[in-house]
Amino acid sequence: MKIFHFAGIYALLIALLLSGCDDGKSSIPKTCADDTCSGHGDCDDTSGRAVCTCDEGYTSQSCDTCIDGYQDNDENGTCEPTCATAGYSCSGHGTCADDTGTPLCACDEGTVQPGPDTCLINGDGSTCESPILIDFATAGTLGNTAGAGNETNSACTDVTGGNDVAYMFVLKGTRSVMFETEGFDTVMYLRSDCGDIQTELFCDDDSGPRRASRIEAELPAGTYYLIVDAYGDDGEYTLTWTIDCGDGLIYDPATGECLDDPCEPNLCDEELKRSCTPVLPASYECTCDPGAISDPENPDACIPNPNQTGESCLDPILLADPAGTLQGDNTTSTGEFTGSCGGDGADRVYTFTVGARSKAHFSSEGYDTVLYLRSACDDAGSELACNDAGSAWEAETIDIILEDAGTYYLFVDTYDRTGTFDLSWTIYPDPCADEETVCPGTPVCEAAADWSSHTCACPVGMIAFNNDCVDDPCDPNPCTAPGRTRCIAELPGNHTCDCEIGYVDNAGACDPDPAAAEWAVIVFLNADNNLESFGLEDIDEMSAVGSTSEVDIVTLVDLDSDTARIHYVNAGSTTIVREMGEIDMSDWRVLRDFGLWAVTNYPARHYALVLWDHGAGWQKSLTSEPAPLFKGFSNDDHGTAGEIRISNGDYARALTAITTEIGRKIDVVSFDACLMGMWEVAEATRPYADVLAASSETMPGTGLPYTAWLTPLTANPSMTATELGTAIANAYYGDATENSTYGITDLGQLDDLAAAVDAFAAALLANPSFYAQVETVRQNTQWFTYEEYIDLTDFASRLVTMSSAPQQVVQTASALLDQLDLAIVHSVAQSGYPGSHGLAIYLPASGGGFDPAYQDTGAVWSTRTAWDDFVADFAN
C-alpha cells in the first residue's frame, strides 16, 4: 500500500510537470500585454514567454502581491512601505500607522507635523531648545524679540546686547529659500546647529529694505536654524519666507517634497480663465484671470470684474479726480507686469484720461514699490516713465508732461513682498495753453508747479501797474551809490534809491539801523521727505544756541508728517511766527517768498541763507521729453515741482528777488545738502552772494552741526562772511563723518576764475589728440559719488605735471590753479578724500555722451566760458 501510494504521487507530479511544458495549456502568456505585470513591473517576452521584473515592493508571477515589508492595507492594488520599512520614527514624538495604506505619523499632543514622517516640538523661540517651527505652507509670521533670551550672537556684527528668536525648518532635498524681516532693525543668521556660531552659513544685517535683514540661499537636505536677533532695543517684526524647487517643480508643504508642477505647462486656455492653480499632488484648477470673476449666470465662465480692483488691464482702478490720495494694497494682487526700471512682484493698475496736454505727478510710499506709466496697458513698449527710488524708505515719484490727449495706465508694482501703500496724484491740463485768453495783453502766463492754477506775471524787465505791465525802472538797477543800492519803483517810470536793508537814512547818509541785527541766519529747511528726523534734530541744535540781540535765527520748516511753519529760534525753544499750511518746498517761488518775508521782517546788516535738504547731482528728470540734466536741490515728497533747479534759472530767479529787496548781495549762501560744492553752482550763485559754502561730496543725514557754528557767530557777530563760512566748514569737519568735504568760495573771484576756466577749456579744445590722455587723468582724479564729478584743482594739478601735455594746456592749467587758490579760501576733507580742494566740476567720460541741457538757459557757466563746449566735444 505504501509503495503504491508513493508511485501514484510520483506519477501525478510527472504529469503536472509535463503539462506545464505543454505550450498549449500554459497559464504564462507568450507575449507581453499591458496588464501582464499588473502595472507594477517591466515585461520581457524575448525568451518565448512573458517574464515580469517587479517594481520594488511587489512579487509574484504577475507582480500583484506585496513582498514582506510592504502592504496594501487599503486594498487599492498599490504596495507601499510599512512603517518599519519607511523608517518613520516620528522624531520620537508620535506613533506611525499604515492601516490606511500609507505610512503616517500620528503626532503627540503639543507637537507639529511638517511632514508625514516628522513630529516636532513647536517652541516659543526663546532658546535653541525650543525653536519655532517654520511652516512653509504659509508666507510668514509675526515675531517679537521682547521676552526672548540673548542666547546667541551673529558672526556679521559685533553687537551682543540684543534678544534673539530661534526658528527651525527641515528640508528633504536641495531647496532655494529666502527669509526677510521688516519692522525694526534686526540681524538674521542661518545655522545648521542653533547654538554653534561655527556652523553659521549665512548672516545679514540691513541688506533688506528699511534696515531689515534678508537671506537668500540654496541649501541641501538637512535641519536648519534661523535666528532673528535685535540690537539693544526689542521690537515687533514680520518674518516672511519663500521656498523654491526650481523650474517646472513646486514645493508641497504637506510632504516637504518637490513635485512636478501641474501648471507647467499651463493647459488653461479658456477666455478670461487662463489662470492655473495647482491642486497637489498632481492636479490643477483653471480659475478666472486677474481682473475677472465668475459669471453669475454661467459659473463655469469668467467675465471682467465690474468692480475695479486693479488686478489687471481688465479692471484698472479709475483715478477720476484731478488730485487725490488713496491707500492701496498689493497683498492679494498678482505679478502680471514689470517696469523697465524694476518691479516683478505683485502690482495694481490705475487709469486716467486727459483731454489735452497735461502735467501729472504720482507718488507712492509705504514700502518698497516701483511706479511706471504706459499709454497702452498691455504694451510694455508704450512705457513713458518708470521710477524706483532704490531704497524702501524713499517715495517713488513720476513727474511727467503728457503731450497727447488719451487714456493712460499707472502701475504700482513691487518686488518679492506685498503690503499697503499710499498713492497720491495730481493731473492738470496746461493752464497757459491759451495764453492770450487767460492773460490778455502784456502779462505772461505762469503756471503753478503742478499746473493746478496760473498767474499772469509781467515778463523780465517789466512790472505790474494798473492791470498791465510797464517798464521796470529798477531793472537794471540804476542805484549804484555805496550803501544806497536798494531801488524802489515809483510807477509809472520813476524810482528812488534807498538805503540797503539794515541801514536807515540819516540826512542823506545811510547809517546802521539800530533796530536791525548784525546777522540774520535764514534757514530754508525742507524735511518733507525721509530727512524729517534729521531736520528736527537740527532745529534742536539751533535752539541750543538761539537768537540774540545781534543774531536772528529764523527758519521755514516743512515736515513729512506735518504742515509748514516759520519758526523764530530762541535759546532753548522756538516760536511759531507764521503757519504756512501745506506748501511745495521744491518750488523756487516758495524759496523766493520766504526769503522776501524773512529779510523784510528781520532786517540785518549781514545775511546767511542756509539751503537744507537733499542735493541733486546732474541727473535725469522723469519727463516725457528727452530727459534733461539739471543741477538742483530741495525735494518735497508732497510737492510737484520736483526740485529747485539751477540749470534752468529757477534758483537765480529766487535769489534775484531776495537780493533786490535787500539792496545788496547775500553774505553767505550755505548748502546743507549733498553734492552742491561745484563750480557750476558757484557760477549760478555769483551774482547774488559773496561767499558759497558747500560740500562736493554727499553729506550724512545729520548734516551741518548748527550748535558748533552758531555758537561762535553769536559770540562774535562782527564775523565777516569768509570767517562765518570757515566756521561752518570747520564745524562740519570737526563732526568727523567719514565723507566730510566742505569748501568756502569767495564769489568775488569768480570773474577771474571764469576767465581761467575759459582759457583752460580753449586749450583742451585745441588739442583733441590729447583727449585720450585727458581721459586717463580724469579717471585718476578725485571724484565724488559720481565719476563725472571731479575735483577741479586735482584735475588741473595732474595735467600740469604731465610731461606729455601740450604746453598750452600746461600753461592754462597752471593759471587756473592760481585762480583757484584765490577763489577757494578754505577747504576741509577727511583722509579718504586726499584730492578734494573745495570745488568740483562736471566732466563725463570721453565718448560717454553729453546732454545739451548742460547748456540750458539758466546755465550761466555756458555763456561765460567755453567749458561746456569742451565737455560736449570731449564726451561725444
β pairing state of 275-279 and 283-287: antiparallel
Establish whether the linkage from the previous residue to 281 is cis, with ω within 30° of 0.
yes
Element (H, E) at 797: helix 792-800
Q: Report helix, strand or coil for 144.
A: strand
CA distance 449 to 633: 15
**Terminal alpha carbon distance of the chain:** 120
Residue whose C-alpha cell is 553687537:
159
Q: What is the pTM of this model?
A: 0.62
Q: Which three cell numbers stand for residue 141?
A: 509670521
Q: Report helix, strand or coil for 656.
A: helix
- Of the candidates 519, 516, 607, 595, the one whose C-alpha atom is nearest the C-alpha of residue 556 is 595
Element (H, E) at 601: helix 588-601
Q: Check residue 372 and give its pLDDT.
A: 96
Residue 600 CB-density burial (10 A; 0-12 exposed, 13-18 middle, 19+ buried): exposed
**Do the Cβ atoms of 60 and 72 come closer than 8 Å?**
no
How many whole angstroms from its chain centre is CA 672? 22
* pLDDT tens, position by position, 40-51: 999 999 988 999
Q: Check residue 23 and give its pLDDT.
A: 43
CA distance 616 to 621: 11
Q: How big is the chain by its Cα radius of gyration, in Å?
A: 38
Domains in the chain with CATH codes? 122-257 (2.60.120.380), 262-304 (no CATH), 317-429 (2.60.120.380), 435-512 (no CATH), 517-875 (no CATH)
CA distance 123 to 179: 19
Residue whose C-alpha cell is 577763489:
823
* pLDDT tens, position by position, 73-82: 999 999 999 9
CA distance 115 to 96: 12
CA distance 556 to 569: 11
Amino acid at 510: C
Element (H, E) at 201: strand 200-205
Q: Check residue 737 and give its pLDDT.
A: 66
Q: Which residues contact 693 (CB under 8 A, 6 or more apart)?
A: 668, 669, 670, 671, 725, 728, 729, 742, 743, 744, 745
Q: Check residue 209 and give its pLDDT.
A: 52
**Do the Cβ atoms of 521 and 552 come closer than 8 Å?**
yes
For 103-174, list the strands marked E by DSSP.
104-107, 111-115, 118-121, 132-133, 140-144, 164-171
CA distance 394 to 636: 11
Instruction: Using 50 as the pLDDT threshold, list the residues of the chain that sit under it.
Output: 1-26, 618-630
Amino acid at 829: A
- The number of residues making up the chain comes to 876
Q: Check residue 390 and give its pLDDT.
A: 64
Q: Check residue 362 and give its pLDDT.
A: 93
Residue whose C-alpha cell is 495604506:
101
